[in-house]
């Protein structure tokens, strides 16, 4: 539905007024539409494009240098009247004649045609371009009888570029038809659109299905098929348009294509990119070269949930015009390629050079990997429990965060160890991966803790018991430093600080690291449980602080669980380097 409107009957006119007010450098209002805010140069053909409203950026959004000279805008989904087309064309025309461009729909054909008659009667040379890119709307043999959808952008962009480059009316007309004949589009919809002020959509697509071959005026698709994944939708659309790919030899087409992946109104940009990832992959597999693809909303249909894919089979002339600069409110292209040397490498986590390590340190690293794997298994076991605790006043993702984080850390640690990393490097890799995989607040803090702990070790010496205590201490200090939480804020710090202090005290008197960790973990567990009695003052759950009363802080609790597992591990591996101070 449309949330914001005044009188529904005035919606299109109100929108056009606002559009013109927002882009005074590009357009000004004319009767029934907009024209460029600068005069058409003497004897330059005027490209006047239009159709109903409800399709923005089509068509008013494309008025400006390098593209159209004016756009008559009809009511929602209905052609501008002949008099509107005429007024806009009259305003734009300056001795070079007029090209009237529109999608091939009966109403537009009549109204634009009538305006053309009137202009011709007054001695203006007028040519008509009816865009007909939609393969769902008719057989390939009669391509020019099909209806126009997102191909509008391609055809008008190319015609506008030709005019900007000096084409006369004959030339501009020729190249516009050529662009039209080189463009194929195909779309799907998941739900229909609703006219402003209406309570019900023009049509609905049954749940679990999608309508293939939709129009852009609320026409439903030509057939319904089961809903697919993004990749399946990409394949469906691409297979459709590529069925009409011309032979690569001859005709100038050498396997270079422009691509427009067009959202119809409700499909998000991210969704379009998910689909485009597959489209790009498939085109590359087929050996086709994509030239300046456009992924976004170009020809919409109010709030229609759907998308279309257009492919333009380019020759040199079409490619040059597709790439030419344009400056309109909704479509901009700057001249030339971005300056600078093309980049050939980017940093990839885990692919840093692994520093040389001694055998001793590599042995310790193997033990660290075992610890990481144990933490991973422990977090997985408690995933649901941690999640439930976090759901009370937080967002419920703590179980998932800990499971993902430890899984990433174990994998990265073992990967680094396999490449010969020592103790320090293994922990540094694990810390990066934990933060990366877990996301969330606790992921960042645990990642920093592992990184700080790794900083205590080196890649030369075996890890000793005092080094383990120092590393745990450094990890906890990093959490406090980075997170800035104070005791009593109801965070993992409430378990970590008592753990750190108990560990130091116990290890000082016994020099038994396994026992000290176990003991400190028990202290941490008690402290974590005691956080049930306080309200949260940090992190996500502070918003619902009161609600957290009665439930321990999930981060404090999970900390105590993991430290308990660490203690158990140390106690059960008498050969670990840890035992030998």
Interatomic CA distance for residues 69 and 110, integer angstroms: 21
Structure tokens at 33: 């539409």
Q: Mask: binding to ligand ADP, 461-490, rule CB under 6 A, as x and -?
A: ------------------x---xxx-----
By CB under 6 A, which span of 39-47, 389-397, 418-426, 513-521 interacts with ligand ADP?
A: 389-397
Q: Which of 25, 356, 395, 533 binds ligand ADP (CB under 6 A)?
A: 395
Q: Which residues make Cβ contacts (< 8 Å) with residue 362, sequence separation at least 6?
A: 417, 420, 421, 422
Q: Which of 133, 383, 397, 459 binds ligand ADP (CB under 6 A)?
A: 397
Structure tokens at 26: 């590009």
By CB under 6 A, which span of 21-29, 266-274, 453-461, 552-560 interacts with ligand ADP?
A: 552-560
- Nearer to ligand ADP by C-beta: 85 or 485? 485
- Nearer to ligand ADP by C-beta: 59 or 404? 404
Q: Considering only CA atoms, which of 115, 190, 116, 180 is closest in space to residue 146?
A: 180
Strand partners, 53: 76
| 475: contact with Mg ion by CB under 5 A | no
Q: Which of 263, 394, 422, 454 binds ligand ADP (CB under 6 A)?
A: 394
Q: Considering only CA atoms, which of 333, 277, 402 is closest in space to residue 153?
A: 333
Count the residues of the shown chain that bind Mg ion, applying the rule CB under 5 A.
5
| Composition of the chain by helix, strand, coil, percent to 5 | 50, 15, 35
Identify residues 164-203 at the interface with ligand ADP (CB under 6 A): none
Backbone angles phi, psi at 338, to 5 degrees: -60, 140
- Nearer to ligand ADP by C-beta: 90 or 407? 407
Least distance to ligand ADP, CB of residue 381, Å: 17
For residue 160, count other CB atoms closer than 10 A to its CB: 31
Q: Which of 133, 191, 319, 390 binds Mg ion (CB under 5 A)?
A: 390
By CB under 6 A, which span of 133-141, 279-287, 397-405, 514-522 interacts with ligand ADP?
A: 397-405
Interatomic CA distance for residues 62 and 157, integer angstroms: 8
Structure tokens at 171: 């030339």
Q: What separation, in Å, do the N-terminal and C-terminal C-alpha atoms of the chain show?
A: 71
Least distance to ligand ADP, CB of residue 175, Å: 55
Q: Which of 66, 263, 401, 567 binds ligand ADP (CB under 6 A)?
A: 401
The kind and range of the H/E element at 466 are helix 465-483
The DSSP call for residue 24 is: T
- Nearer to Mg ion by C-beta: 50 or 443? 443
- Nearer to ligand ADP by C-beta: 278 or 538? 538
Contact by Cβ (8 Å): 425, 354: yes
Closest residue to bound Mg ion by CB: 394
The DSSP call for residue 47 is: E
Contact by Cβ (8 Å): 360, 328: no
Contact by Cβ (8 Å): 449, 402: no
Interatomic CA distance for residues 220 and 211, integer angstroms: 7
By CB under 6 A, which span of 43-51, 81-89, 393-401, 469-477 interacts with ligand ADP?
A: 393-401
The DSSP call for residue 253 is: -
Identify residues 14-43 at the interface with Mg ion (CB under 5 A): none
Least distance to ligand ADP, CB of residue 391, Å: 10
Q: Which of 176, 309, 556, 562 binds ligand ADP (CB under 6 A)?
A: 556
Least distance to Mg ion, CB of residue 535, Å: 16
Identify residues 406-465 at the interface with ligand ADP (CB under 6 A): 440-442, 445
Q: Which residues make Cβ contacts (< 8 Å) with residue 221, sequence separation at least 6?
A: 136, 187, 188, 189, 205, 210, 211, 212, 213, 214
- Nearer to ligand ADP by C-beta: 176 or 445? 445
The beta-strand segments (E) located in 201-304 are: 209-212, 223-226, 256-263, 289-296
Structure tokens at 244: 């009409």
560 makes contact, choosing from ligand ADP, Mg ion, none, with CB < 5 to 8 Å by partner type, with none
Structure tokens at 254: 């050498």
Q: Which of 554, 562, 576, 577 binds ligand ADP (CB under 6 A)?
A: 554
Identify residues 284-303 at the interface with ligand ADP (CB under 6 A): none
Identify residues 392-411 at the interface with Mg ion (CB under 5 A): 394-395, 397-398
Backbone angles phi, psi at 376, to 5 degrees: -60, -50
Mark residue 116 as left, alpha or beta (left: phi above 0; alpha: psi -120 to 50; beta: remaining): alpha
Strand 98-103 versus strand 27-30 pairing type: unpaired
369 makes contact, choosing from Mg ion, ligand ADP, none, with CB < 5 to 8 Å by partner type, with none
Closest residue to bound ligand ADP by CB: 555
- Nearer to ligand ADP by C-beta: 419 or 542? 542
Per-residue DSSP letters for 511-545? Answer: --HHHHHHHHHHHHHHHHHHGGGS---SSGGGGGG
By CB under 5 A, which span of 323-331, 382-390, 473-481, 492-500 interacts with Mg ion?
A: 382-390
Least distance to ligand ADP, CB of residue 186, Å: 41
The DSSP call for residue 338 is: P
Least distance to ligand ADP, CB of residue 534, Å: 12
- Nearer to ligand ADP by C-beta: 390 or 459? 390
Interatomic CA distance for residues 297 and 330, integer angstroms: 9
Per-residue DSSP letters for 313-327? Answer: E--HHHHHHHHS-EE
Least distance to Mg ion, CB of residue 390, Å: 4
Count the residues of the shown chain that bind ligand ADP, applying the rule CB under 6 A.
24
Identify residues 490-519 at the interface with ligand ADP (CB under 6 A): 491-493
Catalytic center residues: 217
531 makes contact, choosing from ligand ADP, Mg ion, none, with CB < 5 to 8 Å by partner type, with none
Residues lying near Mg ion in the complex (CB under 5 A): 390, 394-395, 397-398
Residues lying near ligand ADP in the complex (CB under 6 A): 390, 394-395, 397-398, 401, 440-442, 445, 479, 483-485, 491-493, 538-540, 553-556
């Amino acid at each position: 539905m449309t949330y914001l409107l005044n009188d529904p009957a005035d919606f299109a006119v109100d929108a056009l007024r606002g559009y013109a007010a927002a882009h005074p450098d590009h357009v000004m209002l004319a009767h029934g539409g907009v024209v460029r805010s600068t005069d058409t140069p003497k004897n330059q053909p005027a490209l006047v494009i239009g159709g109903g409203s409800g399709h923005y950026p089509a068509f008013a959004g494309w008025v400006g240098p390098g593209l159209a000279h004016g756009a008559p805008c009809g009511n929602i989904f209905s052609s501008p009247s002949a008099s509107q087309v005429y007024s806009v064309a009259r305003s734009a025309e300056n001795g070079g004649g007029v090209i009237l461009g529109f999608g091939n729909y009966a109403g537009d054909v009549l109204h634009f045609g009538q305006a053309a008659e009137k202009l011709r009667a007054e001695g203006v040379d007028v040519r008509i371009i009816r865009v007909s890119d939609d393969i769902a709307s008719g057989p390939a043999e009669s391509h020019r009888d099909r209806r126009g959808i997102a191909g509008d952008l391609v055809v008008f962009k190319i015609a506008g570029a030709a005019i900007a480059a000096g084409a006369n009316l004959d030339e501009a007309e020729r190249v516009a038809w050529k662009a039209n004949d080189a463009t194929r589009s195909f779309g799907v919809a998941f739900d229909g659109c609703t006219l402003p002020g209406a309570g019900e959509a023009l049509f609905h697509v049954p749940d679990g299905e999608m309508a293939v071959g939709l129009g852009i005026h609320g026409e439903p698709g030509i057939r319904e098929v089961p809903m697919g994944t993004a990749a399946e939708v990409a394949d469906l659309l691409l297979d459709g348009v590529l069925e009409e790919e011309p032979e690569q030899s001859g005709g100038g087409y050498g396997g270079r294509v422009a691509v427009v992946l067009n959202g119809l109104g409700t499909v998000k940009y991210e969704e379009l990119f998910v689909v485009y990832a597959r489209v790009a992959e498939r085109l590359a597999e087929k050996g086709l070269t994509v030239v300046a693809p456009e992924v976004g909303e170009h020809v919409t249909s109010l709030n229609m949930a759907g998308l279309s894919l257009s492919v333009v089979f380019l020759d040199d002339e079409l490619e040059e015009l597709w790439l030419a600069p344009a400056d309109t409110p909704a479509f901009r292209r700057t001249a030339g390629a971005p300056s600078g040397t093309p980049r050939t490498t980017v940093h990839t986590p885990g692919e840093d050079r692994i520093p040389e390590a001694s055998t001793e340190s590599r042995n310790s690293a193997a033990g660290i990997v075992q610890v990481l794997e144990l933490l991973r298994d422990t977090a997985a076991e408690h995933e649901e429990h941690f999640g439930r605790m976090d759901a009370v006043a937080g967002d419920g993702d703590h179980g998932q965060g800990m499971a993902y984080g430890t899984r990433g850390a174990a994998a990265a640690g073992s990967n680094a160890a396999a490449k010969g990393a020592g103790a320090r490097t293994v922990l540094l890799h694990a810390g990066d991966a934990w933060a990366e995989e877990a996301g969330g607040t606790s992921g960042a803090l645990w990642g920093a803790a592992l990184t700080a702990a790794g900083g205590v070790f080196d890649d030369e010496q075996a890890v000793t018991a005092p080094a383990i205590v120092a590393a745990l201490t450094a990890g906890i200090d990093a959490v406090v430093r980075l997170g800035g939480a104070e005791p009593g804020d109801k965070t993992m710090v409430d378990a970590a600080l008592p753990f750190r202090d108990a560990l130091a005290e116990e290890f000082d008197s016994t020099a038994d690291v396994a026992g000290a960790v176990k003991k400190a973990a028990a202290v941490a567990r008690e402290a974590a449980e005691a956080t049930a009695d306080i309200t949260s003052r940090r992190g996500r759950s502070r918003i619902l602080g009161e609600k957290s009363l009665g439930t321990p802080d999930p981060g404090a609790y999970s900390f105590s669980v993991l430290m308990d597992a660490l203690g158990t591990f140390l106690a059960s591996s008498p050969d670990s380097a840890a035992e030998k101070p």
